[in-house]
Chains A and B, each alone.
Chain A
Amino acid sequence: MTMIDVQNVSKWYGEVSALNDVSLEVGPGILGLLGPNGAGKSTLLKLMAGQLRPSLGSVSVLGREYIGDHRLYSSIGLCPEQDALWDEFNGRQFLTCMLRLHGWETRDAQRRCDELLSMFDLVGAQNKRVGGYSKGMRQKLRIAQSFAHNPKVLFLDEPMSGLDASSRSLVADIIRDLGSQGVSIVVSSHILHEVEMLTKEMVVINQGQLRARGNVYEIRELLHDHPLQLEMTVSDPRQLSKALLDCEHVVRIELSDDQKDRLTVFTRRQNQFFEDLPRILKQQDIEIERLHAEDEDMEAVFKYLVH
């Protein structure tokens, strides 16, 4: 069942193209929207959430288009990326107001508010002004308001931003629970790990175009196929490079001209590399000072997918 239907959508800001002929169908459950900064994922999310109008193409949610249909928002929730809240209110008042703007009666809103504050572990801070909340608490409040009114479709823009480990786990549980209840959830992020916590189904976007769609294992494969770049500072880089070149998974090695103790290794299988490296270091009696993965994030995969 298609809940969000994006058909041949393009979006321009003046002469700058933010999205180019994007088509996407989303059903119930959680879909990750991955892409580096400036890829166009926020534009796509805002188009799907009705915050922007497409320059070309159409966006429909639950079979309806946004233009002139503000009532559609009663079935939609949005957690914006920007750190904006009504700082004049306390947490309870903010959530209650959000619900009242959905037409809820004050008593029902208060009851729902109790549930949400408890769910997000914000009961202790409910009477504190939102302006005095920590970044993590503000993020939890933003997520709470997005689905307070029980929407059928939910858009979350970088929902894990600013959350500590325990809050991430809590929020991930809540979002997964919503997804299992049949809510269609689109989560935008530029960090693979964050999306992995929530879903296996994801879309990769870069330079305004959809580059890949699949489950997390397929995306991970792409990551494995793409040579991982590791920068190392060792006592004898030349000896280490000779030893590493015997490994099948090492694609190439670059020695630094400026810093004689430094080398950069490109490997196709990082797990294998990290298994082999300690053995080689011990055999060759080489000391290592520093090991840094240059592109161990999605940025590398996005580049790989583009080129």
Chain B
Amino acid sequence: MTHLKMLWTLSIITAQRMLRRKSTIVLTIVGLLPSIQVFLWVVGLHINMTPYGLFLQFLSSYYASLFVPLVAIFLGLGVINDEVETRNITYTLTRPIHPAVVAAGRFLGHYIVAAGVVIVCTIFVYLEGMIFQFGDLFAKIPVLIGACLFLSGGLLACMGVVSCLGTTWRRFAILGSVVWLIFDNVFALIPFDKVNALSIKYRMLASSFDSLPQAIFTLAPIEPGSLMMNMLVFLLIGALAITYMAWYLIQFEIVLSGSDASG
């Protein structure tokens, strides 16, 4: 019970810190960029798609392919890394909180903000399209809910991967994240089920209730509708990431210069 209470307290404090950072505001603005395209449709500037078509297009080509990995890299890399680099980790590691709870609380705090940004932006673009033309509104709402679920699930997995990279290779973490992102996209393109299963992007696209248009040419057909299975996989990746970071913090030592040594 105490662990859960401390986990929640640390998560909320971490989320409050993240919300006060300018990078969070910048990310939100980046997340709202697709709304400009809807605006262009409204004023009739050569957008040959309905607002709902645009929404599905954004889900596929923008949110799942670009924005979620971007948010994961910007917010996920710092889960442990930022605290170590700024030496602020001292404040959490000298409280009566188990290091595993510190790792989980920090991750959860970052995730709450990141998922909030992704969901708010997705809903905003959906509502924008709904205002102008969605046809049968209530038939489309499950698609929006499904989209919010698979985007936040995919974000959890992406943040898990990126936060582990940030914890392990602090200086090369951005490079490592970009390399991982390339591999994730390549795995989504190769037309073999077992390879596709390694790709978080593919799993996000395959979780949609409605068929999504292909953002880039792919040989692999993406069948929609396996949301629950993919959500479990995303949760598993997130849990593994927290376990790894907890193991890292349990062994963590702060050395004279403020850098750290493990083991």
Contact = CB atoms under 8 A, between A and B. Distances in A.
A62 to B, nearest CB: 13
B80 to A, nearest CB: 15
A70 interface: yes
Contact of A82 (B20, B92, B258): B258
Interface stretch (A99-107, A193-201, A269-277, A278-286): A99-107
Contacts of B258: 82
Interface of A is mostly: mixed
Interface string A149-183: 00000000000000000000000000000000000
Interface in B87-110: 87-88, 90-99
A70 B96 contact: yes
B10 A51 contact: no
Interface string A64-80: 00000011111011101
Given A18-B256, A52-B255, A100 B13 contact: yes
A145 B95 CA distance: 11
B96 A72 contact: yes
A84 B94 CA distance: 14
A70 B90 contact: no
Contacts of B171: none
A145 B91 contact: yes
B48 to A, nearest CB: 45
Interface of B: 2, 5-6, 9-10, 13, 16-17, 20-21, 86-88, 90-99, 253-256, 258, 261
B93 A51 contact: yes
A13 B261 contact: yes
A224 interface: no
Contacts of B20: 88-89
Interface residues of A, number: 33
Contact of B94 (A13, A50, A71): A50
A49 B94 CA distance: 8
Given A13-B256, A89-B17, 18 more contacts: A18-B256, A51-B93, A52-B253, A52-B255, A53-B253, A70-B98, A73-B94, A78-B90, A84-B88, A84-B91, A86-B88, A88-B17, A89-B16, A98-B91, A98-B95, A101-B10, A103-B6, A103-B96
Interface of A: 13, 18, 42-43, 46, 49-53, 70-74, 76-78, 80, 82, 84-86, 88-89, 93, 97-98, 100-103, 145
A52 B98 CA distance: 16
A285 B196 CA distance: 95
A82 B87 contact: yes
A207 to B, nearest CB: 14
A101 B87 contact: no
A101 B88 CA distance: 14
A119 B10 CA distance: 27
Pairs of residues from A and B, 10 with the lowest C-beta to C-beta distance, nearest first: A88-B20, A84-B87, A74-B96, A101-B95, A73-B96, A88-B17, A82-B87, A51-B254, A78-B94, A80-B90
B97 A101 contact: yes
Nearest to B92: A101
Interface of B is mostly: mixed
A234 B251 CA distance: 60
A80 B87 contact: yes
Contacts of A101: 6, 9-10, 13, 91-92, 95, 97
B91 A42 contact: no
Given A80-B90, A85-B88, A101-B9, A51 B97 contact: no
Contacts of A43: 256
A77 B88 CA distance: 15
B76 to A, nearest CB: 18
Nearest to B89: A84
26 contacts: A13-B255, A51-B90, A51-B93, A70-B97, A70-B98, A70-B99, A72-B96, A73-B96, A73-B97, A76-B94, A77-B94, A80-B90, A84-B86, A84-B88, A85-B88, A86-B17, A86-B88, A86-B91, A88-B16, A88-B21, A93-B16, A100-B9, A101-B10, A101-B13, A103-B5, A103-B96
Contacts of A73: 94-97
Contacts of A85: 88
B117 to A, nearest CB: 16
Given A51-B90, A78-B90, A85-B88, A102 B96 contact: yes
Contacts of A72: 96
Contacts of B93: 51
Task: Name the residue in A13, A78, A86, A102 with the highest tally of chain B Cβ atoms < 10 Å from its Cβ.
Answer: A86
A49 B91 CA distance: 12
Contacts of B5: 103
Contacts of A71: 96
Task: Name the residue in B88, B96, B97, B98 with the highest tally of chain A Cβ atoms < 10 Å from its Cβ.
Answer: B96
A52 B261 CA distance: 9
A11 to B, nearest CB: 10
A13 B96 CA distance: 27
B94 to A, nearest CB: 5
